[in-house]
Amino acid sequence: MLKQRVITALVLLAMLLPVLFAPVAWPFAVLTLVFIGAAGWEWARLNGAVAGVAVALGLLLSAACALALWAGWSEHAPSLVWWVATLVWVLGGALALKVGPSGWPRLSKTLRWALGLIALWTAWLALANAKVTGINFILSVFCLVWAADIAAYFGGRTFGKRKLAPAISPGKSWEGVWSGMLGVLVLSAAWVALDHSFAVDSKSLYSRLQERHGSVGLAGVVVFLAAMSVVGDLVESLVKRAAGAKDSSALLPGHGGVLDRIDALLPVFPLALAMSSI
Each domain of the chain, given as residue ranges in start order, spans: 2-276
Return the number of other C-beta atoms located less than 10 Å from residue 266's C-beta: 30
Chain segment 200-238, per-residue pLDDT in tens: 999 999 999 999 999 999 999 999 999 999 999 999 999
| Arithmetic mean of pLDDT, 138-159 | 95
Per-residue pLDDT at 2 exceeds 80: no
- The torsion defined by the Cα of 165, 170, 176 and 178, in degrees rounded to 10, comes to 10
pLDDT at 162: 93
What percent of the chain has pLDDT above 70?
100
Report how far residue 116's alpha carbon sits from residue 47's, in angstroms, rounded to the nearest whole number.
9
pLDDT of residue 6: 87
| Residue 254 pLDDT > 90 | no
Question: CB–CB of 268/232 below 8 Å?
Answer: yes
Q: Any idea which of 13-17, 122-126, 140-144 has the lowest mean pLDDT?
A: 13-17
* Angstrom distances, CA of residue 201 to CA of 25, 82, 137, 191, 277: 14, 23, 9, 14, 19
pLDDT at 278: 78
| Per-residue pLDDT tens over the stretch 52-101 | 999 999 999 999 999 999 999 999 999 999 999 999 999 999 999 999 99
pLDDT at residue 215, rounded to an integer: 95
Cα(first)–Cα(last) distance of the chain, in Å? Answer: 45
- Span 30-48, average pLDDT: 97
CA-based nearest residue to 265, from 100, 39, 59: 39
Looking at residue 199, what is its pLDDT?
86
**176 with 163: CB under 8 angstroms?**
no
pLDDT range class, residue 3, cuts 50, 70, 90: confident
pTM of the full structure: 0.95
SS3 letters across the chain: CHHHHHHHHHHHHHHHHHHHCCCCCHHHHHHHHHHHHHHHHHHHHHCCCCHHHHHHHHHHHHHHHHHHHHHCCCCCCCHHHHHHHHHHHHHHHHHHHHHHHHHHHHCCHHHHHHHHHHHHHHHHHHHHHHHHHCHHHHHHHHHHHHHHHHHHHHHHHHHCCCEEECCCEEEEEHHHHHHHHHHHHHHHHHHHHHHHHCCCCCCCHHHHHHHHHHHHHHHHHHHHHHHHHHHHHHHHHHHHHHHCCCCCCCCECCCECHHHHHCCHHHHHHHHHHHHCC
Indicate the pLDDT class of residue 277, thresholds 50, 70 and 90: confident
Average pLDDT, the chain: 94
Query: Residue 264 and residue 40: Cα distance in Å, rounded?
Result: 15
**Is the per-residue pLDDT at 1 higher than 70?**
no
Between 1 and 151, name the one with better pLDDT: 151
